[in-house]
Structure 1
Amino acid sequence: MTFKLWISNNLPEINNDIMKFEILYQGLINLIFKRTKGFKILIIQPNNYNNNYNNFDNYYNNWLNYSSLLQNKFSIINLQKLNFNYQVKKGVELLFVNELSKLFNLLKQYVLNLRHLIISINFGNKLRYSSQVIILLSQFIESQKNLEILEINDFWDPRKFSPIFDAIKSQKKSLKYLYLEGLKNFVPLLNILIYCNNLEILNLKGFAQMEENINFNFNFNNNNNNNNNNNNLINLPIKHLYSWDVPSYLDINDMGLLLKMINLSLITLAIDKVIDNNLLEIIKNFCPNIQNLSLGLFNTSFPEILPSLIYNLPLNHLYLDIFGYNFSDVLIDLTNSIPSTVISLYINFTLLPNQLDYFLNEMKAKPKILGIIDKYMIKNDHLEIIIKYAKIHNNNLKELHWFGNLDDEIIKDNMNEAKSIIPLICYPIYNFLDSKINL
């Protein structure tokens, strides 16, 4: 009510309430920029709301007013984190590029010590202006003196070698965390990783359709299958590798090569779709120090190598997503493979109640955290098995992560009993693979 009265008294000539709000909003932004002693975090994420205005009129309603920055440059000198997230609307691509040019030209003059940069730009299927934007972004990245965390989506034209890779290389001494979404070409990534001597975490998500017949120079031998024959590969210092939405065409020639190059450094590995059994063979032979493992297996038959792979790793945390198998024939081998070192175990595959009973009580591990993810095991019979297990093992189980409604009337009685025995029961918290470990 106070704001409405202020607007009525000070902006009487403007009849459009939304425009009045925009003017008031920009006034508040200007005031904040003038009064601040210096921002450490700046998030530029315009609202993409839809209203009766056409795309051109609505563009500026969703855009940052640069006058605030231009008039108060010292407010951003100490900036440590910048998050820029924008979806470019149809018909305003050129206008977007022009405005973005003003922003980045300003930022690269005054913002030189970013620690964390997040860039997400969605051009849709329009690649016409992406090369101009990527040049602006690359120049801004290169201007930074100590960038540690870079998160970016792949919006550029995959038919050309993007300058973004050279820009990433410019931060080779400081970069510790790299997140790429929608990667369209794997080889340029491998070509820059060899220079990033302090990169600890690589997070790859949502691979786009890879472009074929794109040739980049990559000089490392990737035709051998054991350590002795791969001494010419450069070792990468990456400790934590995450790969989500992995397409089936990423196999031993790309993802496998990356794993060989990381080799002994790897502590955490998460791959949500493994179809190539040869990839499991590489993990077993080249990455013996994995402590945190998450695998999604969608092979046509149960991978025989899986039990021996798991058994020989010093695992603390294990997440298994195994799709579409009858476990009668492999249950004993799988049960025996779980190392005694495992303290948190997530099960995303279907076991009958008697199979779950055998699995929990016969495996060497006595996890403190148990995750039941598979929807076909969110039943009373399975919950009774877990309660029995918790009682037998002297309440060693401290957390149950249950992928179902905790207040379901059908399992209410058993759930109440479980809560009296297990200190914490909650919806699954998939946090043992924290993508910002120690950063």
Structure 2
Amino acid sequence: MDIANLLLTESDEQTATLPSSSWNFETPNNSPSNDPTTTNSPALKIPRLSPDIIYQILQNFKFSRSSLNKFLRIDQTWCHISLSFLWQCPFNMSLKVKSSILLIRTLLSFLSEQEKSELTRNNIELSDYESDFSKSKIYNYPDYIRTFDLKHFRLSMLHWICYLQNHRSDDVSLIMELNKIYNDIPTNYSSVNLASEIIYGMLFRRSNDHKLQHLIIENDPYQDIITSNHLIHKSIININGGVEDNALSRLEKFEFHYKIERRLDEDLLINRIVRMFEKMKEYVKSLKWLEVNIKYEGGRIPKIGKALMEFIEGQRKMEVLGIHEFWMREESEMIYERICKSQQNSLKHVRFCESCNFKELIKGLNECNNLVTLEILRLFKYDYSSVSVPDKEFEGKTLSIRNFYTWDINDAPDISNYFIQIFKMSNKNLKTLTLTYITSDIIITLVNFCPNVTHLSLSFFQHLDSIPDLLSLLLPVLPLEQFFLKIDNMNSDSDIFTQDYWNRISISIPDSVIHLGIDFKIESNMFNKFLKECKAQLRTISLFQGYMLNRHYLQLIVQYTKNCNQLLNELRFSWNPDEIGFISNSNLGDAKEFIKIIDKVESFNKPFYDIKLSVPNVKDQVLTPSLSYKVGSIKT
């Protein structure tokens, strides 16, 4: 059994259904007698597919490791392309303990004799498997890795070290329980650090011309000690090579999520992070996506802010940027201007968290010529109500943003003046809007300046009695296609939520809406009339409240579909109705005669770029694969 293949299966149950011969992808079946394209039987002849077509086929199976394992044995081309998907991101949260150990054992076979000796000198003994496998391996598996998750890599190292110390048998099914592994963390910490650095360095060295494109560094010191304060590897800070031949020179996406604890040597960690950005600035020049999120109880970290700003300035074509503000408020003018000017033609999506100076933020964003999405997450504690926005300073200036999202700002100070300025500058460009902080002035501004909004998400946490009036003013003038409404009334016993209250909201929903999201408490009899008053020909309804996941609300929507709107074909609940058990199978079966899709609700109105950057196609690269040994040595 080839461990390198087994480790990448999705689960033990799935892999158990495959014949044992299919594990070995070091020996794809290329013999003429088994190749359907060379058989003597005309009935069995089939045309050989081009690599482009094979690649497109396997794209549909890229999340099914068990299926990809089966394709490995078709022929050499199928094998190479399947490997590119299997090894694209080997370390992730879905990797099971057993599989992570098998993965590390496979990678150990690529170590040099000197590296193996260093492990042995530190009481880390390799098994016979690594030695035997290193003699027969053909494919350079590290060369296929495009995404590297450092946290889950180190957790896999921990699992392997614990396995070595507790089991000398090759029967990996004897692995101890997870709680035993984590109880041994203090004992294994130094071994994990040493082995991680050796294997990590080997992976970068063996990447050859197909270099890493996506690097993920994250920690959570409260959940996993093993990743808390050693994630900033010496391998990153002191990595060798020039700009062109460095292992990270083709990095396109970098995610850095780190929490600095006061109980640790915080100055050491801060300096290590600063050094990392300073070193990466020398050889990482083509990032498309950068996301940096650092949590620190001490507040602002100007030293990191400066290093991060200079790192961003060194990029040639950054498209997505998500950062916490690490700098002091007084530094905002310089930093926003430098960041935005350096990426003014490439930057398309930005996310700022804990902003403290909106005036300078807006001035900086005005420098971005092709900005599409702006996200604001939370605000730094600062009294915005004492600051006014000078209209003359922004007169004649515009923002090209089409999508504006605000999150976790329901308890923020009064920043309506800044939101109003953003709406005025965006004007007719704005298409998608998510607001969790709403005032009457904001609504009036939207009516007067943003007539083209098609996707709208509104969350009300206060002044609930004015909601019908505000919606009656705003909604009818917009060409809405999707509308999500959240009203925080779950714990409210107010008598304002009458049938007239809900009817006024329902009537204000324009005819153009085809997807309606409901996240508020409404009694079933009132909900029935709410649906009937709505004039929109809805295709999809999403219910975000758990109490609606029962047969009463399901029957109301079925009656609405039968009697009022036969176009409705999709209903989504906050939980999967097939799993939660509040709705019987017979009720679901009856409902599906009228509503085609009844499923779990999806994230509503989420940012358009919240899809991982696609790793550049490797279909051309895998046709001339990087091999450890000659292709001719493949066994049949």
What range is the shorter-chain TM-score in? 0.7 to 0.9
> 1:311 corresponds to which residue?
476
Aligned-pair distance for 1:395? 4.7
CA contact (8 A) 2:549 2:582 kept: no
1:334 matched to 2:334: no
**Aligned counterparts of 1:260 and 1:21: Cα–Cα separation in 2:** 55
Classify the secondary structure of the residue corresponding to 1:70: coil
**Aligned counterparts of 1:97 and 1:437: Cα–Cα separation in 2:** 29
Q: How does 1:400-415 map to 2 (within 5 A)?
A: 400-404=571-575, 406=577, 407-412=579-584, 413-415=586-588
Note the alpha carbon deviations across 1:355-405, whole angstroms, 9 max, x for none.
Answer: 222222332212111011234433432221111122335752222111246
Aligned-pair distance for 1:19? 1.7
**Aligned counterpart for 1:112 among listed residues 285, 291, 300:** 285
> 1:79 corresponds to which residue?
251
Aligned-pair distance for 1:20? 1.6
Aligned-pair distance for 1:419? 3.5
Deviates more, 1:240-249 or 1:423-432: 423-432
Query: Which letter maps to 1:29?
Result: Y
Deviates more, 1:42-51 or 1:314-323: 42-51
**Aligned counterparts of 1:266 and 1:400: Cα–Cα separation in 2:** 28
| Aligned-residue CA RMSD (Å) | 3.2
Aligned-pair distance for 1:436? 1.2
Query: Which letter maps to 2:215?
Result: L
1:287 matched to 2:450: yes
**Aligned counterparts of 2:534 and 2:575: Cα–Cα separation in 1:** 25
CA contact (8 A) 1:116 1:147 kept: yes
Q: How does 1:207-356 map to 2 (within 5 A)?
A: 207-211=379-383, 219-221=390-392, 232-246=395-409, 247-274=411-438, 276-300=439-463, 301-303=465-467, 304-324=469-489, 325-356=496-527
Aligned-pair distance for 1:22? 2.2
**Aligned counterparts of 1:51 and 1:361: Cα–Cα separation in 2:** 52
> 2:120 corresponds to which residue?
10
> 2:377 corresponds to which residue?
205
CA contact (8 A) 1:33 1:69 kept: no
Classify the secondary structure of the residue corresponding to 2:286: coil
CA contact (8 A) 2:518 2:542 kept: yes
**Aligned counterparts of 1:65 and 1:47: Cα–Cα separation in 2:** 20
Note the alpha carbon deviations across 1:177-233, whole angstroms, 9 max, x for none.
Answer: 0101111222221121221121110011122222569979x65349xxxxxxx9x34
Query: TM-score of the superposition, structure 2-length normalised?
Result: 0.61
| Distance 1:307-1:160 versus aligned 2 partners, 3 A rule | same
**Aligned counterparts of 2:507 and 2:458: Cα–Cα separation in 1:** 18
> 1:168 corresponds to which residue?
339
Deviates more, 1:147-156 or 1:85-94: 85-94
**Aligned counterparts of 2:588 and 2:596: Cα–Cα separation in 1:** 12
- Higher gyration radius (CA): 2
**Aligned counterparts of 1:121 and 1:52: Cα–Cα separation in 2:** 17
CA contact (8 A) 2:573 2:600 kept: yes
**Aligned counterparts of 1:92 and 1:19: Cα–Cα separation in 2:** 18
Deviates more, 1:385-394 or 1:26-35: 385-394
**Aligned counterparts of 1:372 and 1:52: Cα–Cα separation in 2:** 39
How many positions carry a matched residue from both structures? Answer: 423
Note the alpha carbon deviations across 1:71-97, whole angstroms, 9 max, x for none.
Answer: 355211111111122112224232123
> 1:190 corresponds to which residue?
362
Note the alpha carbon deviations across 1:209-268, whole angstroms, 9 max, x for none.
Answer: 22569979x65349xxxxxxx9x3422111000001124423431111211111111000
- Structure having the higher helix fraction is 2
Extract unaligned runs of 5+ from structure 2. Answer: 1-100, 109-115, 125-164, 166-186, 490-495, 614-636
| Distance 1:381-1:372 versus aligned 2 partners, 3 A rule | same
| Distance 1:72-1:397 versus aligned 2 partners, 3 A rule | farther
Note the alpha carbon deviations across 1:289-328, whole angstroms, 9 max, x for none.
Answer: 0000000123422231312311111011000112335142
CA contact (8 A) 2:237 2:279 kept: no
> 1:226 corresponds to which residue?
none
